[in-house]
Amino acid sequence: MTTFSERLESHLFRTPQRVAVYLQHSGQPDLPIAYRQLLRGANAYARTFAREKIQPGEVVILILQHGEDLIYSFWGAILHGAIPSIMPFLTEKLAPERYRADLAALISVTKPAAIVTYPEFETEVRGALKEGDSVRAVIVTDKLEPQSDADFNTLPGIQRSEHDIVLLQHSSGTTGLQKGVALSHRAVFNQLDSYSQALHLNDNDVIVSWLPLYHDMGLIAGFLLPILAGVPLVLSSPFDWVRAPYKLMQSVSQYKGTLSWLPNFSYNFCAQKIRDRYLEGVDLSSWRAVINCSEPVHWESHHAFYERFKLYGLKLETLQTSYAMAENVFGVTQSDLARPPKVEEIDREAFMTERVARAPVNGHPAMKMMSSGKPLSNTRIRILDEHGRDVPHRKIGEIALQSDCMLAGYYNRPDATKKAFYEGWYLTGDYGYISEGEVFVSGRKKDMIIVGGKNVYPQDLESLTYEVPGVHAGRSVAFGIFDEEAGTEDVVIIAEVDSKDRDEQEKIADLIRQHVTKNSAIALRYVKVVGPKWILKTSSGKTARSANKEKFLKELESQS
């Protein structure tokens, strides 16, 4: 067993000139960063943390955009033995007050000793600090110790034990107290070992990623896995990708990329929004796996992606699936890379009413389910009913798991950690079934919306809607509807107002759209403002999200 610092030391010793990361920025030439340079950059941060008297084992929050500083500060924290946690940067659509409030809430739970950010953003960060809180230093990127070669004899990071917490991943939630998933060195290496085995990771691999590092898929698969394993990483940003999705294909072609991870919506996005002119000369034949995870997986999305890019050398078996979550470091299952994931048709009615996945009876409506593959070699899965009992084969229940790479806990949240486990099994909150050893994920317990790979809680959006003048508390409902064209969910908000005037209602709809987006960074697809008594309530007066969703969908259908 080993620690992150020991692994880096071994790369530095054996292959100092080997490129760890090809860093991409729109409009700039790619920047190759070899291990020696990676550690020189990281050492500048490690020495800065020491200068600021940050102790090993203390948390350091990184509020930086895609770029060298984010990479160096992360590994600098590791070399210093501190615990890095990457936070999303403020985007232009999110209101700064909301960002500050979320940051203040995070600080109160996580108790970081330092925050790293840009000089331009320092005032913003200081605005979230309070007298007497845990933050002793706001470190700005232009006041660092100079870059220098790392001396592993004196770096505190090398003294860490494999059982120590190495990093925190913050699960997304739009508002309120976030949960920081705390992971040990050992848990991460156990995950990387079993996941690499499922991937048949080898010396010819090149990982191409644009995923954000504050999310588990980006941080683990698109950052730690390649850098710790010595596999080159071509790293771009979501900001650039969403404006120029073709660059993913060009990068795979240029660097002979072999592995990528994408959330389901991006299969549709790439298939629909890339012009032929950007694909001239592109060769995707080196791509051996593009792994769909972090959103429900849809066969139709794979199909559209394959049809669009097969002319450019894309192989059908390249399109794969995984079921993953930060609480298990990352991967829980992985489909077999040798063949396309299993797709089966099940009877829709039996699925809805009997909670069982069975072949459709002649002529009955069917739904297509795509497998997420088998559990990793270190992970065991059970499917439980509401009483915590195992359900039979092909029956739908809650997915529970156990492994040697589970979270050490939600950081400083023993209450939340305790609630997440049942008799030593982690309860995922996702529904699914097992067939011939393969896991099919079919839905989720809570009314959570997953839009573009981001988890959104409807109650957060509803609370924001109540803040808009003209909308009364309890008279709004938010939910997601699956958008086949986009391959992800669209967010819908319905709000009841007293006014029956159409113009007045449109105005309020606008205000809701602006206010909710500004305070959650979630784009709303449908905002429907209606007169009194539109929203359906349960007998106890609660808003029934699924009933309102049905009603909305019916109205939408009758309009088109």
Partner 1 sequence: MNDSMFSVLEQYIASRILKQPNRKINPTESIISSGLIDSFSLVDLALFVEDTFGVRIDDSELNAQTFDTLTQLASLIETRQNK
Q: Exposed/middle/buried for 243, CB within 10 Å: 0-12, 13-18, 19+?
A: exposed
Region from 61-69, 82-90, 189-197, 517-525 binding partner 1, contact rule CB under 8 A:
517-525
Residue among 451, 429, 449, 431 nearest 440 (CA):
431
Of 458 and 487, which CB lies nearer to partner 1 in the complex structure?
487
> Per CB under 8 A, does 273 bind partner 1?
yes
Q: How far is the CB of 483 from partner 1 (least distance, A)?
A: 11
Of 113 and 270, which CB lies nearer to partner 1 in the complex structure?
270
Q: Is the C-alpha dihedral spanning 356, 361, 365, 368 positive or negative?
A: positive
Residue among 159, 169, 188, 179 nearest 55 (CA):
159
**What phi, psi does 376 have (nearest 5°)?**
-60, 160
> Per CB under 8 A, does 27 bind partner 1?
yes
**What phi, psi does 469 have (nearest 5°)?**
-55, 135
- Give the number of other Cβ atoms within 10 Å of residue 424's Cβ: 8
- Give the number of other Cβ atoms within 10 Å of residue 56's Cβ: 17
Of 382 and 513, which CB lies nearer to partner 1 in the complex structure?
513
> Is 264 strand, coil or helix?
helix
Q: Which of 30, 32, 136, 239 binds partner 1 (CB under 8 A)?
A: 239
Q: Which of 18, 303, 342, 518 binds partner 1 (CB under 8 A)?
A: 518
DSSP code of residue 120: G
Q: Which of 523, 532, 553, 554 binds partner 1 (CB under 8 A)?
A: 523
Q: Which of 4, 269, 299, 457 binds partner 1 (CB under 8 A)?
A: 269
Residues 70 to 129 in contact with partner 1, rule: CB under 8 A: 92-93
Region from 9-17, 55-63, 365-373, 514-522 binding partner 1, contact rule CB under 8 A:
514-522
The first and second tokens of residue 170, run together, are 């913050």
Region from 283-291, 307-315, 343-351, 523-531 binding partner 1, contact rule CB under 8 A:
523-531
Of 498 and 510, which CB lies nearer to partner 1 in the complex structure?
510
Measured CA to CA, the distance from residue 543 to residue 518 in angstroms comes to 24
Of 36 and 518, which CB lies nearer to partner 1 in the complex structure?
518
> Per CB under 8 A, does 243 bind partner 1?
yes
Of 416 and 481, which CB lies nearer to partner 1 in the complex structure?
481
> Per CB under 8 A, does 513 bind partner 1?
yes
Q: Which of 156, 452, 453, 458 binds partner 1 (CB under 8 A)?
A: 452
> Per CB under 8 A, does 311 bind partner 1?
no
Residues 469 to 498 in contact with partner 1, rule: CB under 8 A: 486
Q: Which of 2, 14, 26, 377 binds partner 1 (CB under 8 A)?
A: 26
Residues 526 to 555 in contact with partner 1, rule: CB under 8 A: 526-527
- Give the number of other Cβ atoms within 10 Å of residue 149's Cβ: 11
> Per CB under 8 A, does 510 bind partner 1?
yes
Of 485 and 498, which CB lies nearer to partner 1 in the complex structure?
485
Give the total of residues touching partner 1 (CB under 8 A).
28
Measured CA to CA, the distance from residue 165 to residue 160 in angstroms comes to 9
Q: How far is the CB of 293 from partner 1 (least distance, A)?
A: 19
Q: Which of 164, 514, 547, 551 binds partner 1 (CB under 8 A)?
A: 514
Q: How far is the CB of 459 from partner 1 (least distance, A)?
A: 21
Q: How far is the CB of 304 from partner 1 (least distance, A)?
A: 16
Region from 128-136, 179-187, 268-276, 461-469 binding partner 1, contact rule CB under 8 A:
268-276
Q: Which of 135, 182, 477, 509 binds partner 1 (CB under 8 A)?
A: 509
H/E run at residue 216: helix 216-216
The distance from CA 29 to its chain's CA centroid, rounded to whole angstroms, is 27
CA triple 226-232-237, angle to 5 deg: 80
Q: How far is the CB of 266 from partner 1 (least distance, A)?
A: 10
Residue among 295, 341, 353 nearest 317 (CA):
341
DSSP string, 131-165: TT-S--EEEETTSPPPP----TTT-GGGG--TTSE
Task: Please give the C-alpha separations between residue 142 and each of 70, 105, 145, in angstroms, as whole numbers.
Answer: 13, 27, 9
Q: How far is the CB of 59 from partner 1 (least distance, A)?
A: 30
Sort strands 366-370 and 374-375 into parallel, antiparallel or unpaired: unpaired
CA triple 426-427-430, angle to 5 deg: 135
Residue among 303, 428, 296 nearest 369 (CA):
296
> Per CB under 8 A, does 245 bind partner 1?
yes
The first and second tokens of residue 213, run together, are 């590092």
Q: HSE-up of 324 (CA within 13 Å, CB side)?
A: 29
Binding site for partner 1 (CB under 8 A): 26-27, 92-93, 239-240, 242-245, 269, 273, 275, 452, 486, 502, 506, 509-510, 513-514, 517-518, 521, 523, 525-527
